Amino acid sequence: MYALLRELSRGMDGLCLLSSRVDLTDIPLSDTSGPARRVNLDRLSTEAGRALLKHYNIKGLDSELDAAVEEYDGHALALVLLAEHLREFADGDIVKRDQVPLLDEETRPGEHAFRVMEAYDIALKRDGREPERAILRIIGLFDRPASQDCLDALRREPAIKGVTDSLIGLSDLDWRHAVGRLRKWRLLAQPRGQDDGSLDAHPLVREYFGPKLERESPEGFRQAHSRLYEHLRDTAKQLPDTLEEMEPLFQAVHHGCRATRYEEALGELYRDRVQRGSEMFNWCQLGGFSADATVLSAFFQDPWGDPSPHLSAAATGYLLNQTGADLVALGRLGEADKPLSISLRIAEQENDPNNASVSALNVAELHLVAGRLIDANNAIDKACLWADDFAEPVLRASVRAARGAILHRRSLLCRALGSFREAATIARQHGGTYKHLRGIYVAYYCHYLVNTGAAHRAKGEARKAIQSRSSEHAPEVLGLENLALARALYALACKPMSGNIHPARDAALCTADSHLHRALEHLRRSGFRPGLPGALLLRVAVACDLGEPKVAQRDLNEALELSTRIGLRLHETDARLLQGHMALDDSPPDVEAAQQSLGRAQQLVEETGYHLRDADLLILEGRLLAKQGDTIPGRTKLHDAITVARREEKDGCVYQLAVDQAERCLKELEQS
């Protein structure tokens, strides 16, 4: 959905209309002009409101109709409900709207619609229509359409006092008549297509009648949710294999929390059946980060820092860790900080090596993607210490690969290599399914290998990871592994050759581009946002080499938009460097734009500690000086870049990619 809306917002032909009660923040919207316009429909105009009331055959002078519209602040749903209420209970006379009571909380969202719903409830009670009142209350138990099997579970004996008393023994015909009346009054939605027995309602209807039931009958409210929890728990597939099959379990978790059965819902349903324990099935196989975060929100009183007090300390730590990891994957870095930090603190207090190492790893990866490398280093050191006290090899390999990635970006290449070798050794010795580094960890390792001139080895590591998997694995994992392979193939295609350009170079670039296309497809499908900018930036480089400047500019714009919006500062640094080089490649070169890109990249390196890019900054600065006519200073900067890239050469580690790029730039200067 994000990719579709982003492309449409850039001026594609056609028209797309979106209706939402909340503002859209993923795409740039304008209130005045541009391809993506925001039209606020907070209220109907007086004229439109009057026309709406007349459409429902409400009687009265125009001045009285206008007064009603103003009284209800032009709220469309409130006016529709008012019209139906007046037709049913007040002869369609607008003057009789005084039968609709005022509410105490006049500033609540949906206040006007709530007033009419209260009027319906009073009228139904007065007329003895208890089944309709009960149906409205049980609709408030759901956060989605209520399926027929769930409704049947509620209608079964014994009655839930204060909730289903009037529904026990109600014939199916009487049930259908009651539902039909509520649909006629717009309190229930009309069925979409064939009526399958499910019931749905406007969210404001749920928001009104659900809390009303909880206030009137708190024990009945809890028992109703408990019955729904048990029904869904027992009828859902024991171990679902798809997100669609997961839905009944997700729904059961929601009802379990509302029934205050938090510990059961988290342990028996979410941990054991959704995530399948340490398999992390919903993440590693389905890539269901968004669905996962939605499910976990039910355990919080105030997302994401105030979990239910009904949970034990261990369960609270687990919940916060899972939630934080979901938020990182979704690019919601600011929201992820608090739950992950609290989770780590709880695990340390409980002296739990497994959870402490997992929590510290997640904290480190949050800091890494946010560009806080010193904080990331401190957290990953903790993760390694805790992991050494826990014999689970996959976790021990993962924390060392993550430490390698952090050290790599800090330009501590030899120490990074040591961590990656430890990770690979642990994974290899473990054997079985996980005998290779996988997912983001093989991507970390391959990125290091490519940068240090070992692209052939990176290609082999990436291929081993991909070949050990199937298409059923998580799209995030498949995306990152294809990205690792594409990065290695691109580096091999661009590797300096003796004599002329290698004759198979274009074919190699196309092969790299093919894997890159797969990587982007999987990453977009997964919703794993921290992985997207890296893939987009690699495709920028490939597109430039293939002579596709429009594709390159499009992908650069998206990478910059995404990295700046969600705070992926290391990716933004890479994007600014590419942006600067592309500006210098223009004919004529855009020196001013390149200078601005260089300045921002220098600022980011200083702020983040991303010193791997020290040599890259010097290369861009050298090219910029040369384009400005300062050839000698430009050449000096390029030589400085080679020196910086080789600063660990005596220990056997060189940032070879930067050396190769600087040498190419020097050769171009000599030939110009």
CA distance 369 to 361: 12
* Nearest-5° Cα angle at 199, 193 to 203: 105
Task: Please check whether residues 263 and 378 belong to one and the same domain.
Answer: yes
Q: Tell me whether residue 576 is in a domain.
A: no
Residue at 543 is within a domain: no
Same domain, 130 and 65: yes
Is the model more confident about 77 or about 571? 571
Query: Between helices 475-493 and 532-545, what is the axis angle to 10°?
Result: 30
What is Dmax (Cα atoms) for the chain? 94
Confidence of residue 503 (pLDDT cuts 50, 70, 90): low
Tell me: pLDDT of 240 over 90.
yes
Each residue's pLDDT tens digit, 312-346: 998 999 999 999 999 998 889 999 999 999 999 99
Segment among 36-50, 118-132, 139-153, 405-419 with least mean pLDDT: 36-50
CATH code for the domain in which residue 249 is found: 1.25.40.10
SS3 annotation, 113-129: HHHHHHHHHHHHHHCCC
What's the chain's Rg over C-alpha atoms?
Answer: 30
Domain tally, the chain: 3
Q: Is the domain of 134 the same as that of 271?
A: no
Question: What is the pLDDT confidence band of residue 438, given thresholds at 50, 70 and 90?
Answer: confident
The residues, any chain, with a CB within 8 Å of residue 151's CB and separated by 6 or more, are 138, 197, 198, 199
**Per-residue model confidence (pLDDT) at position 499:** 41
> Does 225 share its domain with 211?
no
Domain that holds residue 321: 220-433
Distance of alpha carbon 528 from its chain centroid, rounded?
Answer: 6
> What's residue 450's pLDDT?
97
Same domain, 372 and 402: yes
Q: How far apart are CA 530 and CA 327, in angstroms?
A: 11
Joined together, the tokens standing for residue 354 give: 């497994």
- 499 is a domain residue: no
Q: Is 165 helix (H, G, I), strand (E, B) or coil?
A: coil
Could you tell me if 315 and 407 lie in one domain?
yes
661 is a domain residue: no
Whether 27 and 115 map to the same domain: the answer is no
Q: Strand (E) positions, 239-309? A: 300-302, 306-307
Domain boundary among 176, 199, 216: 216
Query: Do residues 117 and 187 touch, judged by C-beta distance below 8 A?
Result: yes
Place of tokens 């990635």: 405
d(CA 485, CA 497): 21
- Name the domain boundary from 184, 216, 248: 216
Is 606 domain-assigned? no
Residue 59 lies in a domain: yes
Q: Is the dihedral of CA 126, 129, 134, 139 positive or negative?
A: negative
SS3 630: coil
In a domain, 657, yes or no: no
Tell me what pLDDT residue 213 has: 96
- 596: closest CA among 611, 583, 609? 583
- Residue 566: inside a domain: no
One domain, residues 212 and 225: no
Could you tell me the two tokens for 62? 């125009």
SS (H, E, C) 253-318: HHHHHHCCCHHHHHHHHHHHHHCCHHHCHHHHCCCCHHHHHHHHHHHEEECCCEECCCCCHHHHHH
Residues 234 and 256 both lie in one domain: yes
Same domain assignment for residues 342 and 391? yes
Cross-strand partners of 595? none
Higher pLDDT, 571 or 106: 571
Q: Are 642 and 476 in contact (CB under 8 A)?
A: no
- Cα dihedral sign, 136-138-143-149: negative
Q: Among 180, 201, 216, where does a domain finish? A: 216
Domain match, 122 and 69 both: yes
Domain identity same for 155 and 96 = yes
Measured between alpha carbons, how far is 287 from 476 in angstroms, rounded to an integer?
A: 6
In the chain, % of residues over pLDDT 70? 94
What number is the average pLDDT over the span 611-638? 96
Q: 236 vs 509, which has greater pLDDT?
A: 236
Q: How far apart are CA 55 and CA 119, in angstroms?
A: 21
Q: Which of 1, 3, 12 is nearest to 35 (CA)?
A: 12
Residues in the chain: 672
